[in-house]
Amino acid sequence: MTGKIAFINARVIDPASGVDHAASESGGLLTDGASIVAMGPDIFNGGRPDVEEIVDCQGAVLAPGLVDMRVDFCEPGAEHKEDIESGSKAAAAGGVTAVVTLPDTAPAIDNASVLEFVARRARDVKLVKVFGYATVTRGANSDEIVEMGLLKEAGAVAFTDGRHSVANAKTLSRALKYALAFDTLIVQHAEEPNLSAGGVMQSGELSTRLGLPGIPREAETIMLDRDLALVKMTGGRYHAAHISTAEGVARIRAAKEAGLRVTCDTAPPYFALNELAVGEYRTFAKLSPPLRSEDDRQAIVEGLADGTIDCIASDHFPQDQESKRLPFELAEFGSSGLETLLALTLELVHNEHVSLSEALRKVTAAPSRLLDLPTGRLYAGAPADLVIFDPDKPARIEPDTFISKSKNSPFDGRLVQGQVIRTVVDGRTIYTADD
């Protein structure tokens, strides 16, 4: 057990409480073992207590560690792309202290024993906190609802079929209703599968020029319209994952105004890139949902700024070279996102779309509140899950240096600002930057 650690010279930001203290010698944050014991601008005024270690943050930001609500650690089933250990290390390097893993693995996490296997593996690895979704349906691709009550008792934080949409309206309506008994959330990949079938990128001029089958925006809006009607009908709690279209943002905004229990997230590619990133068949830009038009991208930024979009998740879908070095139509969907989540989220701050505190809320307090996770906030007594980062330091995204097993980033070579300096979980430092 570690003793007391004093973090000084840190700008302490806690989005949940609105705390934002300027860095000073006399203030900061004090941890003892796995917990935060004190924080404030003058907690070290009366001299430093007897501490084991003093961490001089040199003016950097100290915030709750990032909570990434949508990652694929590929375990069990595709450990050659990522596993809980490599994924956890990648998360730590990205300033992420808690992740929620998708359940459409092989086998799918649709019963308590598979969920417990993942939890045990995460305990053994003991780096970041690994929470798990369970599937909505057996096999993540059927019409049979899983044992939600038992799975929730076993630790499932919410239910989703991951990259599959729950396409059957009756199944989703039952899931939304049944989940009410356990006050749990249904997370949906909102894409009408018949309309998107065979498509590999956004429908439009570019797909026509490239000769690639397209996925129209309406695949998202049709599914959202149907789902939101079912939410209204059932009163269930619904979260739309990785919203990518202007119409999608408008639908969620209207649903929230109508008082439905609806939330949503997006991922950095949808606010930082558009379909042009596909260029001449760049498979690293093959994502699901596909990269959309510039109008859509701007609407996503607006949705983030006005609060319609509650959270940002990395959408970390690692793919090995063999899955991406293929003709575009044959390549897998997905990008490696954990190690670029913070820097890309900070682009929203540097471009003055949202405040630093608000940007951080979307990757800390907002997802943890939504999924009722015991992390993502700073207060005396909270777990010491922290990230220390320099929000302004210029950097270039170089996927070759990723710690993740997979280097499939559509942001290759992008110039960003922001660097993680240290990541702390339960008081233990699990990552420090080299320099």
Partner 1 sequence: MQFPESGTYIPALMTAAKTGLSAPKVPAEIDFPHRHLLGIQDLSPDEITYLLDLSDSYAEHNRARGGKLDIMRDKTLINLFFEDSTRTRTSFELAGMRLGADVINIAVANSSIKKGETIIDTAMTLNAMHADALAVRHSNAGAVKLLSEKVNCAVINGGDGSHEHPTQALLDALAIRRRKGHLQGLLVALCGDIAHSRVARSNIYLLQTMGARVRVIAPPTLIPPAMERLGVEVFHDMRAGLEDCDIVMMLRLQRERMEGSFVPSVHEYFKFYGLDYDKLQHAKPDALIMHPGPMNRGVEIDSDVADDLDRSLIREQVEMGVAVRMACLDVLTRDRPDTTP
203 near partner 1, judged by CB under 8 A: yes
Q: In sequence order, what are the residues at sequence separation of 6 or more whose Cβ sits closer than 8 angstroms to the Cβ of residue 164?
A: 104, 140, 141, 189, 193
Amino acid at 80: H
Q: Rounded CA gap, 424 and 269, in Å? A: 27
Q: How far is the CB of 221 from partner 1 (least distance, A)?
A: 16
153 near partner 1, judged by CB under 8 A: no
The residues that are catalytic are 315
Q: How far is the CB of 293 from partner 1 (least distance, A)?
A: 10
Q: In sequence order, what are the residues at sequence separation of 6 or more whose Cβ sits closer than 8 angstroms to the Cβ of residue 417?
A: 343, 346, 347, 350, 391, 392, 393, 394, 395
325 near partner 1, judged by CB under 8 A: yes
216 near partner 1, judged by CB under 8 A: yes
Residue closer to partner 1 (CB basis): 302 or 329: 329
352 near partner 1, judged by CB under 8 A: no
When binding is defined by CB under 8 A, the residue of 205, 294, 372, 392 that contacts partner 1 is 205
When binding is defined by CB under 8 A, the residue of 36, 109, 122, 212 that contacts partner 1 is 212
Q: Report 68-87 residues binding partner 1 (CB under 8 A).
A: none
41 near partner 1, judged by CB under 8 A: no
Question: How many CA atoms are closer than 13 Å to the CA of 399, on its beta-carbon side?
Answer: 18
**Which of 24, 134, 95 is CA-nearest to residue 388?**
95
214 near partner 1, judged by CB under 8 A: yes
Name the one range near partner 1 by CB under 8 A: 4-12, 26-34, 158-166, 211-219: 211-219
207 near partner 1, judged by CB under 8 A: yes
Q: Rounded CA gap, 239 and 343, in Å? A: 25
Q: Rounded CA gap, 92 and 267, in Å? A: 18
Beta-bridge partners for 20: 13
50 near partner 1, judged by CB under 8 A: no
Give the number of residues in contact with partner 1, rule: CB under 8 A: 23
Q: How far is the CB of 242 from partner 1 (least distance, A)?
A: 22
Name the one range near partner 1 by CB under 8 A: 124-132, 218-226, 319-327, 398-406: 319-327
- The secondary structure of residue 38, as a DSSP letter, is E
Phi-psi region of 332 (alpha: psi -120 to 50; beta: other; left: phi over 0): beta
Name the one range near partner 1 by CB under 8 A: 143-151, 302-310, 321-329, 350-358: 321-329
When binding is defined by CB under 8 A, the residue of 116, 302, 329, 398 that contacts partner 1 is 329
When binding is defined by CB under 8 A, the residue of 150, 195, 210, 305 that contacts partner 1 is 210
Burial status of residue 46 (CB atoms within 10 A of its CB: 0-12, 13-18, 19 or more) = exposed
**Which of 404, 349, 380 is CA-nearest to residue 61?**
349
167 near partner 1, judged by CB under 8 A: no
**Which of 28, 76, 122, 111 is CA-nearest to residue 378?**
28
Residue closer to partner 1 (CB basis): 54 or 326: 326
Only one residue has tokens 């996770």, namely: 373
Q: Rounded CA gap, 371 and 183, in Å? A: 11
Q: Report 400-419 residues binding partner 1 (CB under 8 A).
A: none
Q: How far is the CB of 101 from partner 1 (least distance, A)?
A: 29
211 near partner 1, judged by CB under 8 A: yes
When binding is defined by CB under 8 A, the residue of 38, 281, 398, 432 that contacts partner 1 is 281
327 near partner 1, judged by CB under 8 A: yes
Q: Rounded CA gap, 139 and 58, in Å? A: 49
**Which of 244, 241, 240, 252 is CA-nearest to residue 217?**
244
Q: How far is the CB of 197 from partner 1 (least distance, A)?
A: 7
Residue ranges binding partner 1 (CB under 8 A): 197-198, 203-205, 207-214, 216, 280-281, 322, 325-330
